[in-house]
């Protein structure tokens, strides 16, 4: 079967690798002229790593990643630790794979290298997908330059502004969530007095939160700050923000956060508005299916958007190798994935309320039990992530 994939992000690359693994031919079309990713980190949780284990490329990814000591939640101003879930031995033992942080460029480079080793001609750069057409027996992907390529199935892995999705369902209505996000990557060597712990750390605050973690053998610290604000609403990854504005957003926070912000390069501080999209009625149209952010973009408050794309990729490739027809295989894929991605989407959304408690009573009600649970019943707190990280999409059980 010839699988045409629109978009060479984490979802598109993993879909290509999973399709090859299941015996299909693949061609991956990317609009950009070169493979590039924003300068930021990403967390790769054990549920995603299990797909890479099944593909035989987990070590190639892990060797470019950083293994955090724990998942930690702290109060933004005081730095008080609410709870800490140890990861080093636990992730592999209880969830079946390591938990990693990795620079996005290193992640995509590892995926691209694996794909090129197996299928040297599979990647086509500078190919901007405009849409598709199909018959009972084949499907064609159409490019902006007017050319077409024919295959048996199309996977729309073209991200949050997917044109494949637009053809299926129209432009859609992104809703501003009332949050803006900041991102920066800071060399750890610049942090002289206070450094974040070597954990995946979420810092809670009134109407805002931050996430810190290390990349590249601990050489870099990744910072993401999310602030409830409605004075600015542009949805892009590449808009620069001013350091003064970021300092104001996190004024009075723990010294580790303030030092991180003060040490960031002014030219490398970016911000963007966070939008939410209503769930789609479905992800397929005959021989065409959506995957990753194109199908189910989600708020980044559970660090699972790319992990869901990775899980999708395995299920879609497996369904294609087992279905009686392409369209029934794609419907089967959607049926297997929708309940899980919907649950993760809604858990991500509800983390916004958890992370941003504004009132004293809300903070006591939300963080009090976390703090107590972390001390009196850590095993119960630890087990709260089993449904997410313990999931193994490559196993049928
Ligand atoms: P994308 O990464 O958007 O890739 C789409 C690709 O398609 C791009 O290469 C694009 O150039 C290409 N493309 C687009 N249109 C066309 C076209 N017309 N023709 C050809 N090519 C096209 N997820 C996690 O799992 N862990 C995390 O820690 C995490 N942290 C996050 C932090 C933040 C602040 C944010 C905003 C998101 C985070 N996510 C995280 C989510 C994650 O980044 C996304 O879910 C993931 O990148 C989606 O991958 P994708 O391949 O579906 O789409």
Whose Cα sits closest to atom 4 in ligand 1? 9
Q: What is the pLDDT of residues 207-229, one digit of tens each?
A: 999 999 999 989 999 999 999 98
Q: Does residue 57 contact residue 355 with C-beta atoms inside 8 Å?
A: no
**pLDDT of the residue at 163:** 96
Counting atoms of ligand 1 from 1, which one is nearest the CA of 7?
A: 7
* pLDDT mean over 129-158: 97
Whose Cα sits closest to atom 18 in ligand 1? 129
Q: Residue by residue, what is the 3-state secondary structure of 102-143?
A: EEHHHHHHHHHHHHHHHCCCCEECCCCEEEEEECCCCEEEEE
CA 15 / ligand 1 centre spacing (Å) = 13
Confidence of residue 233 (pLDDT cuts 50, 70, 90): low
Counting atoms of ligand 1 from 1, which one is nearest the CA of 305?
A: 45
**pLDDT of the residue at 235:** 66
- Give the burial class of 152: count Cβ atoms within 10 A of its Cβ; 0-12 exposed, 13-18 middle, 19 or more buried: middle
**pLDDT of the residue at 272:** 87
DSSP one-letter string for 15-35: HHHHHHHTT-EEEEE-SSSS-
10 lines ligand 1 (CB under 6 A): yes
Q: How far apart are CA 381 and CA 367, in angstroms?
A: 12
Counting atoms of ligand 1 from 1, which one is nearest the CA of 274?
A: 36
Residue 201 CB neighbour total at 10 angstroms? 23
Q: Does residue 349 contact residue 302 with C-beta atoms inside 8 Å?
A: no
**pLDDT of the residue at 6:** 98
Q: How far apart are CA 156 and CA 167, in angstroms?
A: 11
**Could you give the angle at which helices 104-118 and 10-21 cross, rounded to 10 degrees?**
30
Q: What is the pLDDT of residues 303-358, one digit of tens each?
A: 999 999 999 999 999 999 998 899 999 999 999 999 999 999 999 988 888 888 88
Kindly report the pTM of this predicted structure: 0.95
Residue 109 CB neighbour total at 10 angstroms? 17
Confidence of residue 385 (pLDDT cuts 50, 70, 90): confident
CA 298 / ligand 1 centre spacing (Å) = 11
H or E element, residue 44: strand 41-44
- Decide if pLDDT at 237 tops 80: no
Confidence of residue 397 (pLDDT cuts 50, 70, 90): low
Q: What is the pLDDT of residues 309-323, one digit of tens each?
A: 999 999 999 999 998
Q: What is the pLDDT of residues 64-93, one digit of tens each?
A: 999 999 999 999 999 999 888 888 888 889
Residue 218 CB neighbour total at 10 angstroms? 13
Q: Does residue 82 contact residue 371 with C-beta atoms inside 8 Å?
A: yes
Give the count of alpha carbons within 13 A of 13, CB side only: 23
128 lines ligand 1 (CB under 6 A): yes
% of the chain beyond a pLDDT of 70: 97
CA 364 to mean position of chain CA atoms: 30
CA 162 / ligand 1 centre spacing (Å) = 11
Q: Does residue 329 contact residue 319 with C-beta atoms inside 8 Å?
A: yes
159 lines ligand 1 (CB under 6 A): yes
Confidence of residue 140 (pLDDT cuts 50, 70, 90): very high
């Amino acid at each position: 079967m010839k699988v045409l994939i629109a978009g060479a992000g984490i979802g598109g690359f993993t879909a290509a690798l999973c399709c090859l693994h299941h015996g299909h031919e693949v061609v991956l079309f990317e609009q950009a002229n070169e493979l590039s990713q924003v300068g930021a980190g990403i967390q790769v949780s054990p549920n995603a790593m299990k797909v890479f284990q099944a593909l035989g490329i987990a070590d190639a990814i892990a060797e470019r990643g950083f293994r955090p000591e724990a998942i930690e939640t702290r109060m933004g101003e005081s730095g008080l630790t609410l709870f800490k879930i140890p990861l080093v031995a636990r992730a592999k033992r209880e969830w079946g794979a390591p938990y990693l942080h990795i620079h996005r460029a290193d992640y995509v480079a590892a995926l691209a290298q694996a794909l090129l080793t197996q299928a040297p001609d599979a990647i086509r750069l500078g190919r901007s997908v405009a849409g598709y057409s199909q018959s009972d027996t084949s499907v064609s992907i159409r490019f902006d330059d007017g050319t077409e390529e024919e295959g048996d199935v199309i996977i729309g892995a073209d991200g949050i502004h997917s044109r494949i999705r637009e053809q299926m369902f129209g432009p859609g209505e992104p809703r501003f969530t009332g949050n803006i996000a900041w991102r920066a990557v800071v060399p750890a060597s610049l942090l002289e007095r206070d450094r974040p712990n070597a954990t995946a750390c979420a810092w809670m605050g009134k109407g805002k939160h931050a996430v810190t973690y290390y990349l590249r053998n601990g050489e870099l610290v990744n910072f993401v700050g999310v602030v409830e604000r409605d004075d600015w609403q542009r949805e892009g990854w590449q808009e620069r923000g001013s350091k003064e504005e970021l300092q104001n957003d996190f004024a009075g926070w723990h010294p580790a956060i303030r030092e991180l912000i003060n040490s960031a390069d002014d030219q490398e501080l970016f911000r963007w508005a966070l939008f939410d999209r209503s769930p789609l009625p479905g992800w397929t149209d005959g021989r065409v299916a959506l995957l990753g952010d194109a199908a189910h973009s989600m708020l980044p408050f559970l660090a699972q958007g790319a992990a869901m794309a990775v899980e999708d990729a395995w299920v879609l490739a497996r369904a294609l190798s087992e279905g009686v027809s392409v369209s029934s295989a794609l419907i089967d894929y959607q049926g297997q994935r929708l309940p899980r991605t919907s649950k993760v989407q809604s858990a991500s959304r509800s983390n916004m309320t958890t992370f941003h408690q504004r009132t004293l009573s809300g903070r006591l009600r939300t963080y009090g039990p976390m703090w107590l649970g972390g001390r009196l019943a850590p095993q119960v707190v630890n087990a709260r992530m089993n449904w997410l990280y313990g999931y193994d999409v490559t196993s049928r059980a």
